[in-house]
Amino acid sequence: MCTVIVHVPETPGAPVRLLAVRDEDPARAWDPLGAWWPESPDVVGVRDRRAGGAWLAADPAAGRIAVILNRADIVPDGDAPLESRGRIVLDAVGGAALETPPHTHGFNLVELTATGATVTMWDGDALRRVELAPGIHMIAHDDVDDPATARIAAWRDAFDAPETVDEEWRERWLDTLERTSAVGPVDDRAIVRDNRPFGYPTLSLLVCTASVGASGVDVRYGEFAEPGVWNRPVVH
């Protein structure tokens, strides 16, 4: 139930930018943004302690960023055990090809480089990959910019497109995120969410912002003081 906003610039060479809100069970332990994988010393990310993978990761040296969102499966599980989706993020920033078909539950994988952004969608039956056109895009648990997703229909146009050189975009996007919280965390339009009324034990826990461009990769992290409740995080 996470949410990601991406801006792909019109101007070639301008940074590609991202804001990601993570929804997860607060009882599932995680490690904040850091270098947690000895086998990949250049990679930093938000690590899931249980499975060892990443929700979001970046390889600054390679100029890659990836973040994964859960997506509902449209076909029932088979007999084979499924793998953790967190490994997909580490493979993506490492430049490894995605296994086809993936042996995981459904996901939306968002990948950024200095040249643009892609989203790979897996619903348990079909694997699709789209390159994002210039502009603002929003991804949740369905397709990219899906108007049937209430938060996308309500808020996609609320996030402004940053200028080519723009150091204030993070704060403006956090301002916008704060405005979206006026609907409350259990409204279907919410981005900062409490998903328990919908049958999931997940709440919004943290925010990451990221940009990748000619000047390199910049990833920042901040946690909500109380899960599922808006209080402006300090991202650093």
Q: What mean pLDDT comes out for the span 47-64?
A: 97
pLDDT digits (tens, 9 = 90+) for 123-153: 999 999 999 999 999 999 999 999 999 999 9
Write down the pLDDT at residue 21. Answer: 98
Angle at 133 between CA 129 and CA 135, to 5 degrees: 130
Q: What mean pLDDT comes out for the span 25-48?
A: 97
Following CA atoms 45, 50, 51, 54 in sequence, which dihedral angle do they give, to the nearest 10 degrees? -10
pLDDT digits (tens, 9 = 90+) for 71-120: 988 876 666 788 999 999 999 999 999 999 999 999 999 999 999 999 99
Question: Comparing C-alpha atoms, which of 147, 174, 176, 173 is closest to residue 162?
Answer: 173
Instruction: Please give the distance of CA 130 from its chain centroid, rounded to a whole number.
Output: 16
In which order are the strands placed within the sheet that holds 64-70? 30-34, 44-48, 54-59, 64-70, 107-113, 116-122, 127-131
User: Helices marked H in the chain — which ranges?
Assistant: 86-93, 150-155, 169-180
Report the distance separating Cα 206 and Cα 230, nearest Å: 10
Write down the pLDDT at residue 167. Answer: 86
What secondary structure does DSSP assign to 107-151, as a single string? EEEEEEETTEEEEEEE-SS-EEEEEPPSEEEEESSSSTT-TTSHH
Write down the pLDDT at residue 76. Answer: 67
pLDDT digits (tens, 9 = 90+) for 174-233: 999 999 999 999 999 999 999 999 999 999 999 999 999 999 999 999 999 999 999 999
Q: How many CB atoms lie within 10 A of CB 187?
A: 17
Residue 155 has φ and ψ, to the nearest 5°, of -125, -5
Angle at 5 between CA 83 and CA 140, to 5 degrees: 45
Q: What mean pLDDT comes out for the span 156-167?
A: 91
Q: How many CB atoms lie within 10 A of CB 114?
A: 18
| 1 pLDDT tier (thresholds 50, 70, 90) | confident
| 27 pLDDT tier (thresholds 50, 70, 90) | very high
- Token readout for 51 is 């499975």
